[in-house]
C-alpha cells in the first residue's frame, strides 16, 4: 500500500470471503470514486484462493490483510474496524459494487445528520436469473429504492457507516466478540441513539448463486443469526423462539411482498421468484430453529 500521511476521512472495511472474482469488482468500483483520496480501504481477505496476493499486486492503494484460517464475516469486520484510522468507518462486502459518488454521499450524510450510524440503499446488480432475484429479495429487498431518509433500526451490513468513537464506546465489547450488524445496531438503539437510512448512498449486490448454494446459505445465515440472538438469553426466551421458528415463512413472504408492492418495482420478478422464496424462507426458518435449539454449530463460518 502506498504511504499516505494524511488522515483519511473514511475507512472502508471489506470482509472478503468469495474469492478474487468478487473482491476485484468491488475494488474496481472503489478505484473509480470521484473522491478516492479521502478514503482508506482495508480488505480482510479470507478467501481460499490467491486473492490476497493478487490484491497486493494489482490494487496497491488498498491495505490487504490475509486471514488464515478463515474467520466469520462479523469477526473480519471487527478486525477491520479496529484498524481503521478515520473518524467514520464504513462496512461493505466483496460482492458489492458501489456508486461512483459513494464516498461523497457518505461524508455528506454524516455532515448533514448527527446520527451515529447511517445505512444506504442496496439495489440488485444480478438481474439475469430468477435464483439471483430470489436471493436479492431475501437478503436486501427491504433496502431497495425508492425510500425517503428516515430513522431505521435495521441497517444493511454491506452499506452502513458509523461514527467510530460512538461505535467503540457503545459496542466495544461486541466488536471484541465479532457479531452481526443487527446486534451492533440494536445495542446503539438500546443506548438511546437514533439510526438513519439514507437513499442517496447506494451499492449494488452483484453476486450470482446456484439454487443449492443459496439454499444452504439461508440455512447457515438463519442459524448464525438465531444463535447470536439468544446467546445470552434466558432459557424461557430460547424456548419461545424455538416454538415460533417453524412458522416464520408466511411472515417472511408477507414482508417481501410489502417491499415490492409498496415500492411498485419488479413486481413481475417477485411473482416469478415466489416458489424459490418459499423454499428459501423454509431454509432460514430451519436454520433459526437449530440455532435457537443447538447454537451456531459452525454456521457463521459458512456464511458467504
Q: Read off the CATH number of the domain in which 146 is found.
A: 3.90.550.10
Do 154 and 25 lie in a common domain? yes
- Answer yes or no: do 240 and 199 share one domain: no
Same domain as 198, residue 80: yes
* 242 belongs to a structural domain: yes
Domain contains 223: yes
∠ CA 233-237-242, rounded to 5°: 115
Q: Do 20 and 111 belong together in one domain?
A: yes
Same domain for 19 and 165, yes or no, is yes
Count structural domains, the chain: 2
Dist. CA 8–CA 40, nearest whole Å = 6
Identify whether 4 is part of a domain.
Answer: no
Domain boundary pick from 205, 236, 260? 205
Same domain, 117 and 179: yes
Using the 3D structure, point to which of 159, 188, 205 is the last residue of a domain. Answer: 205
Cell numbers found for residue 179 = 457479531
Question: Does residue 236 lie in a domain region?
Answer: yes
Q: Are 65 and 45 in contact (CB under 8 A)?
A: yes
Residue 186 lies in a domain: yes
Looking at residue 1, its pLDDT comes to 40
- Whether 1 is covered by a domain: the verdict is no
Sequential DSSP letters for the chain? -----SPPSEEEEEEE-S-HHHHHHHHHHHHT-TTGGGEEEEEEE--SSSHHHHHHHH-TTSEEEE-SS---HHHHHHHHHHH--SSEEEEEETTEEE-TTHHHHHHHHHHH---SEEEEEEEES--SSHHHHHHHHHHHGGGPSP---EE-S---GGGEEEEHHHHHHHHHHHHHHT--HHHHHHHHHHTTPPPEEEEEEEEEE-----HHHHHHHHHHHHHHHHHHHTTT--HHHHHHHHHHGGG-HHHHHHHHHHHHHHHT-SHHHHHHHHHHHHHHHHHHHHHHHHHHHH--TTHHHH--
pLDDT in tens, 262-282: 999 999 999 999 999 999 999
Distance CA 203, CA 101 (A): 10
Question: In which band, very low, low, confident or very high, does the pLDDT at 49 lie, cut at 50, 70 and 90?
Answer: confident
Domain assignment present for residue 270? The answer is: yes
Cell numbers 459518488 correspond to 101
299, with CB counted inside 10 A (0-12, 13-18, 19+), is buried
Residue 289 has pLDDT above 90, yes or no: yes
Of 104, 2, 109, the closest CA to residue 59 belongs to 2
Domain assignment present for residue 180? The answer is yes
- 135 with 250, same domain? no
Do residue 221 and residue 177 come from a single domain?
A: no
Q: Last residue of a domain, which of 205, 223, 258? A: 205
CA angle 125, 128, 130 (to 5 degrees): 100
- Give the orientation angle of helix 20-31 with respect to helix 51-58, to 10 degrees: 20
Among residues 202, 12, 14, 8, the alpha carbon closest in space to that of 101 is found at 202
pLDDT tens, position by position, 76-135:
999 999 999 999 999 999 999 999 999 999 999 999 999 999 999 999 999 999 999 999
Residues 131 and 59 in one domain: yes
Q: Which grid coordinates belong to 176?
A: 471484541
| Tens digit of each residue's pLDDT (9 = 90 or more) over 202-243 | 999 999 999 999 999 999 999 999 999 999 899 999 999 999
Same domain, 230 and 163: no
Give the per-residue pLDDT at 3.
45
Clarify whether residues 56 and 184 are in a common domain. Answer: yes
Domain containing residue 221? 212-302
Residues 251 and 124 in one domain: no
Amino acid at each position: 500500500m502506498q504511504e499516505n500521511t494524511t488522515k483519511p476521512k473514511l475507512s472502508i472495511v471489506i470482509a472478503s470471503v468469495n474469492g478474487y472474482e468478487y473482491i476485484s469488482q468491488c475494488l474496481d468500483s472503489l478505484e473509480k470514486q470521484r473522491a478516492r483520496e479521502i478514503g482508506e480501504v482495508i480488505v480482510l481477505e479470507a478467501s481460499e484462493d490467491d486473492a490476497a496476493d493478487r490484491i497486493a499486486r494489482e490494487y496497491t492503494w488498498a491495505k490487504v490483510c490475509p486471514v488464515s484460517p478463515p474467520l466469520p464475516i462479523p469477526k473480519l469486520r471487527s478486525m477491520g474496524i479496529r484498524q481503521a484510522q478515520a473518524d467514520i468507518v464504513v462496512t461493505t462486502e466483496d460482492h458489492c459494487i458501489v456508486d461512483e459518488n459513494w464516498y461523497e454521499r457518505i461524508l455528506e450524510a454524516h455532515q448533514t445528520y448527527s446520527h451515529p450510524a447511517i445505512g444506504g440503499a442496496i439495489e440488485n446488480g444480478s438481474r439475469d436469473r430468477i435464483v439471483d432475484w430470489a436471493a436479492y429479495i431475501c437478503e436486501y429487498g427491504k433496502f431497495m429504492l425508492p425510500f425517503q431518509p428516515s430513522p431505521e433500526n435495521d441497517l444493511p451490513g454491506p452499506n452502513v457507516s458509523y461514527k467510530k468513537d460512538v461505535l467503540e464506546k457503545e459496542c466495544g465489547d461486541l466488536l471484541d466478540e465479532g457479531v452481526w450488524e443487527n446486534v451492533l445496531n440494536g445495542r446503539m438503539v438500546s443506548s438511546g441513539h437514533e439510526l438513519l437510512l439514507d437513499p442517496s448512498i447506494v451499492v449494488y449486490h452483484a453476486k450470482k448463486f446456484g439454487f443449492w448454494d443459496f439454499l444452504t446459505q439461508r440455512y447457515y445465515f438463519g442459524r448464525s443469526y438465531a444463535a447470536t440472538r439468544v446467546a445470552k438469553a434466558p432459557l424461557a426466551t430460547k424456548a419461545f423462539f424455538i416454538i415460533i421458528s417453524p412458522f416464520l415463512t408466511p411472515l417472511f413472504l408477507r414482508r417481501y411482498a410489502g417491499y415490492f408492492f409498496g415500492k411498485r418495482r419488479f413486481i413481475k420478478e417477485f411473482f416469478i421468484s415466489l416458489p424459490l422464496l418459499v423454499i428459501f424462507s423454509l431454509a432460514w426458518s430451519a436454520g433459526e430453529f437449530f440455532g435457537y435449539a443447538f447454537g451456531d454449530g459452525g454456521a457463521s463460518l459458512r456464511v458467504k
